[in-house]
Amino acid sequence: MNDFNEEQNEVKKFLPTGSFRRFSKTMKVVVIAVLVLLLLIPMAMIEDMITERGQTQVDAIDEVSQKWSLAQTVTGPYINLQYPVVSENNGKQTTGTGNIMLFPDELFIDGQLRTEILTRGIYEVNVYQSELVFKGSFSSEELRKNRVDMDILQFNKAAICFNLTDMRGISEQVSITLNDSVYLFEPGMDGRGIKSVGVHAVADLSALKENKRLPYEMKIKLKGSQSIYFTPLGKTTKVDLKANWNTPSFVGNYLPDSRDVTEKDFSAHWQVLNLNRNYSQVIVNYRNTSVRDIEDSDFGVNLKVPVEQYQQSMRSAKYAILIILLTFTVIFFTEILEKTRIHALQYLLVGLALCLFYSLLLSISEHVGFDIAYLVSAILTIGLVGGYMLGIIKKKKPAFIMSGLLSVLYIYIFILIQLETFALLAGSLGLFVILAMVMYFSKKIDWFNE
């Protein structure tokens, strides 16, 4: 020890007054910067854990949905008409089959959804049972407008098509009343639909050739999970939907014309015209039209359980470096102004306590929700850091200042997480104020003398 002190004194002889002290402060700043960088490692691990837990939730929801029935997209009803196509290859003529899709003039849908919650471990999945009534009419007017040769169309072997996302959602036999005739649907599309999954019924629709209007009506009881979508195939499409769910999210290419959301349920009404879409009422072998064009016109409602704790936890974790850096800065200023010594290990322990806040937030929020979890985690972390500072400095004022600083920071971060439109503005202004305060208090420190 004496040898070390002698060497230290020898070094001081060759340094200007205050240089050794200034060197000590500079080294302490460097050590703190290295500790901040090291703490990014556990924070990266915590962010990976948040992502993993979020994916676990998605997997649990998918598992329940697969066993119940997936989110449904309802497309139809519409008519498929076939006609012979003669082609010549190397002097040989072959006869194939062409397809024409005729969409309804009117498509009116009246739907009632009954939702219920299924659980998979700690995760909740919203599923529903629905009763949908379809009404409207078909006519050959659009065929004539498109100059389709009516004589080659096989009206006597027309197919009435109806597409779904998941056939397991069908609860009862499905039939359609077309004019005065009732047709039962058969499983599968037999290669005659827009999409490959659904049901179809072969019918004699010769009345269409005679330019008669064919009214239709069909009912279906359908199960699904999380969301339901509709495809606006009608020249005029109207959808009235009601459900016992109070947090709907209206999605897709069209928003409802009117909606009414109460504490117990919601109702919504859509009206879509054929002029609002990028495809016509008659599609000939998908010429100038793709399935993608039709799918892009879908609209509907999400009935997902409003669980955002993983997204909010990840957003709060993005501010971890700010809290750690400011906390270390205050500890450093306290160390100098109070003329005390705080070891680098003690800085590290405080930093680990700040990192542990996000692990507590994630684990608690999975059971009691984000807001309560944030409050509990903040109280535990502030109490731990404040009590530790009181124990190592032996003075109440610095410990109270540290606890107050963390309280303000956690409140500030919580407000930023709740904001959406003004989050960037509030964050920028807040950082400006914080930097200004750090610059102000740094003036009170004599960086060249102890």
Mutual angle of helices 423-442 and 396-418, in 10-degree steps: 160
Q: Taking residues 386-410, what's their average pLDDT?
A: 88
pLDDT of residue 348: 93
Q: Would you say residue 178 has pLDDT above 50?
A: yes
Q: Would you say residue 142 has pLDDT above 50?
A: yes
Q: Taking residues 145-150, what's their average pLDDT?
A: 85
Which residue type occupies 450? E
pLDDT of residue 44: 93
Q: Which of 239, 227, 229 has the alpha carbon at shortest distance from 272? A: 239
> pTM here?
0.76
Helix (H, G, I), strand (E, B) or coil at 232: coil
On whether the CB atoms of residues 186 and 112 are closer than 8 A, the answer is no
Model pLDDT for residues 201-247, shown as the tens digit of each residue: 999 998 888 878 899 999 999 999 999 999 999 999 999 999 999 98
When mean pLDDT is compared across 67-76, 172-181, 436-445, the lowest value belongs to 436-445
pLDDT of residue 447: 65
When mean pLDDT is compared across 179-193, 218-232, 337-351, 354-368, the lowest value belongs to 337-351
Q: Taking residues 98-104, what's their average pLDDT?
A: 92
Q: Taking residues 153-158, what's their average pLDDT?
A: 92
Q: Would you say residue 323 has pLDDT above 70?
A: yes
When mean pLDDT is compared across 101-115, 154-168, 332-346, the lowest value belongs to 332-346
Model pLDDT for residues 79-90, shown as the tens digit of each residue: 999 998 877 777
Q: Would you say residue 23 has pLDDT above 70?
A: no
Q: Would you say residue 409 has pLDDT above 70?
A: yes
Q: Taking residues 278-286, what's their average pLDDT?
A: 85
On whether the CB atoms of residues 276 and 254 are closer than 8 A, the answer is yes
Q: Would you say residue 266 has pLDDT above 50?
A: yes
Q: Taking residues 285-313, what's their average pLDDT?
A: 81
d(CA 104, CA 96): 26
Tokens standing for residue 28: 């302490």
Q: Would you say residue 7 has pLDDT above 90?
A: no
Q: Would you say residue 22 has pLDDT above 60?
A: no
Helix (H, G, I), strand (E, B) or coil at 278: coil
What's the chain's average pLDDT? 87
Confidence of residue 21 (pLDDT cuts 50, 70, 90): very low
pLDDT of residue 329: 87
Confidence of residue 139 (pLDDT cuts 50, 70, 90): very high
Name the residue with higher pLDDT: 378 or 289. Answer: 378
d(CA 227, CA 242): 13
CA 446 → CA 25, 124, 222, distances in Å? 10, 58, 75
When mean pLDDT is compared across 24-33, 262-271, 420-429, the lowest value belongs to 420-429
Q: Would you say residue 14 has pLDDT above 50?
A: no
pLDDT of residue 18: 45
Name the residue with higher pLDDT: 211 or 264. Answer: 264
CA 278 → CA 68, 148, 253, 296, distances in Å? 34, 20, 12, 9
- What is the SS3 string spanning 366-423? HHHCHHHHHHHHHHHHHHHHHHHHHHHHCCHHHHHHHHHHHHHHHHHHHHHHHCCCCH
CATH 2.60.40 is right for the domain spanning 70-302: yes
CA dihedral 69→75→77→80, nearest 10 degrees, is -120
Q: Would you say residue 269 has pLDDT above 90?
A: yes
Confidence of residue 77 (pLDDT cuts 50, 70, 90): very high
Q: What is the DSSP secondary structure assignment for residue 70, as one 8-state letter?
A: P
Q: Write the burial class of residue 359 (CB in 10 Å: 0-12 exposed, 13-18 middle, 19+ buried).
A: middle
Q: Would you say residue 16 has pLDDT above 70?
A: no
Which residue ranges make up each domain of the chain?
20-56+309-442, 70-302
Q: Would you say residue 440 has pLDDT above 70?
A: yes
Q: Would you say residue 104 has pLDDT above 70?
A: yes
Which residues, listed in sequence order, are joined to residue 113 by a DSSP beta bridge? 130, 243
